[in-house]
């Protein structure tokens, strides 16, 4: 068998597995196949010079954001947070508390001082807790994002991953955060990774699909770029750095590479893709730095929760403290900001 034959038979295999669960879909198996064959050759993606990237992020980190820009940026960052809890210890109670924090990040004392803040963008939980979150957040405009596809490792069968995703959607998730198969990626099975994402996007339909690359396991920036391109061409609505379970999680370097990938994809196809760095963003200074990167790479259109999210939890209180400091002039104590 030639390599091309092997690839074709692999794709048919993927398709066969997937189609069990897609009987309700009307699309033609062959159309889907021809779409898959029309994808770019992911063996050749732009090469990234790591030292060059570090030089650019270092330059971007020197931007000094003060006064009006700072306050505006801090509030913007807060509105972009996906408040997250993904622990084995999670319970309905814990998730409910998190949702309350999402709705009202700042305690009542501060509104007396005239300080108001936006609510966060979403909460992010395991599929099991989607219903609790959905019920608690009804009518608030805060989205419910669910991890899926055998998060965080992704090492399960395709059937399980699809079922995991479908369950979350049925429970009421607005957004799905899926993981790519890093093992397949590192073995060079780019088409397999692509097909899986494309399939899961079909399962999601209108539900937003975020694709987690798990950059901490991809080793090189070249790989991060490649994985970004694969995800976007396959139909991702957002590309996301990490599960937060592996270190390093989000870093300025991988974020910049992904932002540049989004920019190039937009220029080639006209389609906007969102970006979400997750894990490792603990303070306001870092959050503002990331916003600077977005602003100077993609421009203002991406600076909304529709197109940029922070996967974080401890960041919230630091932003609140900084916002309060900006408005009152005094450094704050963590005692005055609720921990959920």
Partner 1 sequence: MQPTEQNFDFKTGTIYAPAPESTSFVELKGRYDLFINGEFAPSTSGRTFKTINPATEVSLAEIAEGNAKDVDLAVQAAKTAYEKTWSKISAKERAKYLFRIARLIQEKSREFAIIESMDGGKPIRESRDIDIPLAAAHFFYYAGWADKLDYAFPGKKVAPLGVAGQIIPWNFPLLMAAWKIAPALATGNTVVLKPAETTPLTALKLAELFQEAELPKGVVNIVTGAGETGAALVSHPDVQKIAFTGSTEIGKLIQKTVAGTNKSTTLELGGKAANIVFEDAPLDQAVEGIVNGIFFNQGHVCCAGSRLFVQEGVADLVIQKLKHRMSSLIVGDPLDKNTDIGAINSKEQLSKIQMLVNAGVDEGGCLYQTSSTLPDRGFWFRPTLFTEVSQSHRIVQEEIFGPVLTIQTFRTIEEVIEKANNTPYGLSAGVWTDKGSKIFTLTSKMRAGVVWANTYNQFDPTSPFGGYKESGMGREGGLHGLAPYLKFVN
Looking at the annotation, which residues are catalytic? 177, 240, 276
Are 48 and 221 in contact by the 8 Å Cβ rule? The answer is: yes
Closest CA to 226 of 196, 186, 198, 266: 186
| CA 230/CA 33 separation, integer angstroms | 16
Q: Which helix (H) or strand (E) holds 311?
A: strand 310-312
89 CB burial (10 A radius; 0-12, 13-18, 19+): exposed
- Residue (75 or 94) nearer to partner 1, CB: 75
How far apart are CB 46 and partner 1 at their closest, in Å? 6
Closest CA to 144 of 171, 165, 105, 180: 171
How far apart are CB 128 and partner 1 at their closest, in Å? 36
DSSP label at residue 278: B
How far apart are CB 304 and partner 1 at their closest, in Å? 7
Look at phi and psi of residue 190 and say left if phi exceeds 0, alpha if psi is from -120 to 50, else beta: alpha
Buried b (16+ CB within 10 A) or exposed e, 295-322: eebbeeebbebebbbbbbbebbbbbbbb
> In angstroms, what is the C-alpha Rg of the chain?
20
Question: Which two structure tokens, joined as six digits, stand for 32?
Answer: 């889907």
How far apart are CB 50 and partner 1 at their closest, in Å? 9
CA angle 72/284/71 to nearest 5° reads: 15
Q: How far apart are the first and last CA of the chain?
A: 57
Closest CA to 147 of 9, 108, 46, 133: 133
- Residue (149 or 297) nearer to partner 1, CB: 297
How far apart are CB 97 and partner 1 at their closest, in Å? 30
- Residue (179 or 287) nearer to partner 1, CB: 287
User: Would you report the helix, strand and coil content of the chain in percent, each value rounded to 5?
Assistant: 55, 10, 35
- Residue (58 or 107) nearer to partner 1, CB: 58
- Residue (66 or 112) nearer to partner 1, CB: 66
- Residue (9 or 304) nearer to partner 1, CB: 304
How far apart are CB 80 and partner 1 at their closest, in Å? 11
How far apart are CB 310 and partner 1 at their closest, in Å? 14
Residues that bind partner 1 (CB under 8 A): 46-49, 51-53, 55-56, 59, 62-70, 72-73, 76, 260, 267, 291, 295-296, 300, 303-304
Question: Which two structure tokens, joined as six digits, stand for 245?
Answer: 């379970």
- Residue (317 or 326) nearer to partner 1, CB: 326
Residue found by looking up tokens 């403290």 in the block: 321
């Amino acid at each position: 068998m030639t390599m091309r034959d092997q690839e074709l038979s692999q794709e048919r295999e993927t398709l066969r597995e997937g189609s069990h669960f897609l009987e309700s879909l009307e699309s033609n198996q062959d159309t889907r196949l021809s779409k898959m064959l029309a994808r770019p050759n992911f063996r050749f993606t732009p090469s990234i010079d790591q030292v060059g990237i570090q030089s650019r992020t270092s330059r971007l980190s020197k931007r000094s954001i003060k006064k009006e820009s700072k306050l505006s940026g801090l509030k913007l960052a807060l509105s972009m947070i996906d408040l997250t809890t993904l622990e084995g210890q999670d319970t309905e109670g814990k998730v409910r508390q998190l949702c309350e924090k999402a709705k009202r990040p700042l305690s009542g004392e501060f509104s007396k001082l005239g300080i108001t803040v936006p609510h966060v963008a979403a909460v992010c939980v395991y599929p099991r807790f989607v219903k609790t979150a959905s019920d608690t957040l009804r009518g608030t405009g805060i989205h419910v994002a669910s991890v899926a596809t055998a998060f965080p490792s992704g090492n399960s069968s395709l059937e399980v991953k699809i079922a995991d995703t479908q369950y979350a959607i049925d429970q009421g998730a607005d957004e799905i955060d899926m993981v790519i198969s890093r093992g397949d990626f590192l073995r060079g099975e780019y088409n397999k990774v692509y097909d899986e994402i494309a399939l899961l996007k079909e399962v999601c339909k209108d539900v937003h699909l975020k694709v987690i690359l798990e950059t901490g396991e991809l080793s090189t920036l070249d790989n991060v770029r490649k994985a970004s391109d694969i995800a976007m061409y396959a139909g991702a609505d957002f590309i996301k750095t990490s599960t937060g379970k592996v270190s390093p999680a989000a870093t300025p370097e991988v974020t910049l590479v992904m932002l540049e990938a989004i920019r190039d994809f937009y220029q080639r196809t006209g389609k906007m893709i969102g970006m979400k760095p997750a894990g490792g963003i603990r303070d306001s200074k870092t959050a503002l730095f990331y916003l600077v990167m977005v602003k100077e790479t993609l421009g203002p259109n991406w600076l909304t929760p529709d197109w940029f999210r922070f996967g974080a939890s401890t960041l919230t209180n630091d932003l609140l403290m900084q916002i309060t400091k900006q408005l009152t002039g005094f450094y704050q104590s963590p005692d005055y900001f609720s921990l959920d």
